[in-house]
Structure 1
Amino acid sequence: MKLKSFLSNLPARVILLIYSVIVLYPLLWTVTTSFKTTNEFYENPWSMPKSFQWTNYINAFKEASIGSYFVNSVLVTLLSMAICMILSFMAAYVISRYDFKAFRWMKKMYLVALFFPVAFKIVPLFQLLGDMHLLDSLFGLVLAYSATTIPFTIFLMAGFLESISKEYEEAAMIDGCSRFGVLFRIIAPMARSGMITVAIFNFMSYWNEYIMALSFITTESKRTLTLGIAYLMEVQRYATDWGALFAGLVIVMIPTLVLYALLQRKITAGINVGGLKG
C-alpha cells in the first residue's frame, strides 16, 4: 500500500525536485561565488571557493558604498510599509464593513488599478513629484512606493477583514469602545495574519524595486540598494573585483530570505484565512 502511494506521487515529487534544483542552484552559486577571488572566478565560475574570502563583503560595504545604500533601502522600505499599511487598513475596513454603492465601485477601481504596469505610472509620478519638489528625494520615493501599492494592499486586506465577524465589533462598542478603538484594538489583532502576509508582499516589492528608484533618484548618496548593485555592475566592466559584486547581491537577498523564513507559517495561515477572497 505504501509502495503504491509512493509510486502514485512519484511524478509530482520528481517535478518538485527538479523545480527546487532550478530555484536553489542559482542562489547557492551566487553565495559560493561571493567568497571567491577574482582569479578563481575566471578560472572556473562553477567550482567551489578554495577559501572563504570574507574581505569581499568588507569591500562591498566600504569601497562600493553598499552600507549606505542598504540604510537608504531600509528607511525607504520601512516608511513605505508604515504609510501604505495604515492607510490601506483603514480604507479596507470601511470598504469591507459598509455596504454602500460608492464603496463597491471604489473596490472595483482599486482592482482595476492592479492591472496598470509600472511603466505607465512613471511619467505622471515623475511630473507630480516634480511639481511637489520631491524629485531626487527619498521621501518622494516613499510616497511613490506607498501610493502604487495601496490598491493591491486594500484589495487583499479587504478579503481578510470580511472574514472577521461583525459581532466582535458590536460587543466592543456596547462596552464603550470607540470606532477607532474597535479598529486598532479589536480588528487589527484579529487580522494580524493577513496583515503580515500583505506586509511581506509589500516588503519584497519595495526592497527589490528598481525602475522608480532609477527614475526619481539621481544623487549617488540617495541611491537604494538595487541602484547601488546596478552601479556596481557597471563599474565591474572596468574593474576586476567580482567577489564584491556577488557579495553585494547576497546582501540584497538576505533580508528577504530571512524574513520569509521566519514568517513562512504566518504567511500561509494568512492566505488560508481569506487573503485571496473578495
Structure 2
Amino acid sequence: MNSGLKNPVTKIMAYAILFVWGVSVLYPLLWTLLDSLKNNEQFFSNAPWSLPEFPLLWSNFSYVWSKYNFSRYFVNSIVVTSGSTLLGLLLAAATAYVLARYKFRGSQALYLLYIASMMVPFSLALIPLFFLMDSLHLINTELGLILVYASSVLAFGIFVLVGFFKSLPKELEEASVVDGASHYGTFFRVMLPLSQPGLITVAIINVLNIWNEYIVGTILINDPDHYTLPVEIGVLRQEMEYRTEWGPLFAALLITIVPVLIMYMFFQRRIASGITAGAVK
C-alpha cells in the first residue's frame, strides 16, 4: 500500500477521492448550520442553499430549546443512551468472557448464534417486541427503551470483546485464583481492566447508534414527556412543516448532531484501533 502511494499519479488520485469524500460528508453539516441562521423570509426569497443574511439568527437555537422544551428531550436521550450503553456493555463483557475463557458443550454454537443475530434485520422483531413490552408495562418508559437498546447492541459487543478476552494470558486468571479471588473478582478486577480498549470501542459505537435511533423510539414511546431527541425531531419536522419554521428546525437538528459529532472526533482513533486490535487478537 505504501509503495503504491509513492507513485505521484496514485497519490493524486487518492487525495482527490478523499477530498471528494470529505466534501460530501461536510457539506450537509455546513448547509444545516447555514440554514439554522436564517429566518422564514430568507428561505422563500432565496435559494435554500444560499448564504444567510446578516444579522445571523443565533436566536433560533435558544428559541427551539425553550419553546419546544428541548432540554427535556436532551435529558431523556442522555438517560436512555447512558443506561443502555452501560447495561449492554456489562452484559456483552460478561457473556464474551464466559464464551472466550470457559469451554462447555454448545459454547461455539452459542457464539455463532450471537454473531448470526447481527445479520437479522431488527425491523422483523418490531411487532412482537411491541406486544412483549406492552405485556411488561414498559411502553412509554425510559426503562423499556434501555432494555431494548441494550439487547440490540449485545451481539456486536460480544463479537468485539471475545477476541480481547481470548488474547489475555491464562496465567493472569490462575494468579488471581491463587490470591483468593472468586470468578467474579477475577472478571471485574483483572479481566475487565485489561480489556479496556475493546470496552471503549464498543461503548463509543453503541452510543453513536443508540443516540440516533428513531424507529424503536417511535414505536415504544408515544408520550411526549418521554420522547428522545430523534423522535422529537420527527414530530418537530411535521409540526414546523406547516408553520414554516425552517430555521428553528435546522437548529434543532444541529443540537442533536453536535454532541455525537464531537464525541466521534475525539475518539475516532480509539474506535479504529480498538476494532483492529480485536480482529488481530
Tell me the alpha carbon deviations over residues 58-106 of structure 1, each in whole angstroms, 9 at most, x when there is no partner. Answer: 1111122222111111111111111111111111100010122321111
In 1: Cα distance, 2:6 partner to 2:58 partner? 49
Deviation at 1:265, TM superposition (A): 2.1
After TM superposition, the structure 1 stretch with the greater mean CA deviation from structure 2, 184-193 or 83-92, is: 184-193
In 1: Cα distance, 2:108 partner to 2:267 partner? 32
In 2: Cα distance, 1:226 partner to 1:40 partner? 26
The residue that corresponds to 1:46 in the other structure is: 49
TM-score of the superposed pair, with normalisation by structure 1: 0.93
Deviation at 1:5, TM superposition (A): 3.5
The residue that corresponds to 2:19 in the other structure is: 17
Tell me the alpha carbon deviations over residues 193-217 of structure 1, each in whole angstroms, 9 at most, x when there is no partner. Answer: 1111111111111111111111111
Deviation at 1:28, TM superposition (A): 1.1
Structure 1 counterpart SS, 2:139 = coil
The residue that corresponds to 1:90 in the other structure is: 94
Deviation at 1:4, TM superposition (A): 6.0
Which one of the candidate residues 167, 170, 179 is aligned to 2:171? 167
Contact 2:37/2:52 (8 A) holds in 1 = yes
Q: Following superposition of structure 1 onto structure 2, how do residues 211-222 of structure 1 map, counting pairs within 5 Å?
A: 211-222=215-226
Structure 1 counterpart SS, 2:243 = coil
Deviation at 1:124, TM superposition (A): 1.3
State percent identity of aligned pairs: 37
Which one of the candidate residues 3, 7, 10 is aligned to 2:9? 7
Amino acid at match of 2:214: Y
Contact 2:208/2:260 (8 A) holds in 1 = yes
Tell me the alpha carbon deviations over residues 96-153 of structure 1, each in whole angstroms, 9 at most, x when there is no partner. Answer: 1012232111101101111111211111111111111111222111111111221221
Q: Following superposition of structure 1 onto structure 2, how do residues 126-137 of structure 1 map, counting pairs within 5 Å?
A: 126-137=130-141
In 1: Cα distance, 2:180 partner to 2:7 partner? 57
In 2: Cα distance, 1:220 partner to 1:64 partner? 11
Contact 2:160/2:275 (8 A) holds in 1 = no
After TM superposition, the structure 1 stretch with the greater mean CA deviation from structure 2, 105-114 or 147-156, is: 147-156
Amino acid at match of 1:98: Y
In 1: Cα distance, 2:158 partner to 2:175 partner? 25
After TM superposition, the structure 1 stretch with the greater mean CA deviation from structure 2, 41-50 or 251-260, is: 41-50
Amino acid at match of 1:262: F
RMSD over aligned CA atoms reads: 1.8
- Aligned: 1:110 with 2:124: no
Contact 1:163/1:273 (8 A) holds in 2 = no
Deviation at 1:8, TM superposition (A): 2.9
After TM superposition, the structure 1 stretch with the greater mean CA deviation from structure 2, 249-258 or 182-191, is: 182-191
Contact 1:160/1:277 (8 A) holds in 2 = no
Contact 2:205/2:271 (8 A) holds in 1 = no
Structure 1 counterpart SS, 2:51 = coil
Q: Following superposition of structure 1 onto structure 2, how do residues 46-85 of structure 1 map, counting pairs within 5 Å?
A: 46-50=49-53, 51-85=55-89
Structure 2 counterpart SS, 1:209 = coil
TM-score of the superposed pair, with normalisation by structure 2: 0.93
Amino acid at match of 1:35: L
In 2: Cα distance, 1:52 partner to 1:273 partner? 46
The residue that corresponds to 1:265 in the other structure is: 269
The residue that corresponds to 1:232 in the other structure is: 236
Deviation at 1:277, TM superposition (A): 5.8
Cα separation, partners in 2 of 1:83 and 1:4, compared to 1, 3 Å: closer
The 4+ residue runs of structure 1 with deviation greater than 6 A are none
In 2: Cα distance, 1:185 partner to 1:263 partner? 25
How many residue pairs match? The answer is 276
In 2: Cα distance, 1:263 partner to 1:236 partner? 34
Contact 1:210/1:227 (8 A) holds in 2 = yes
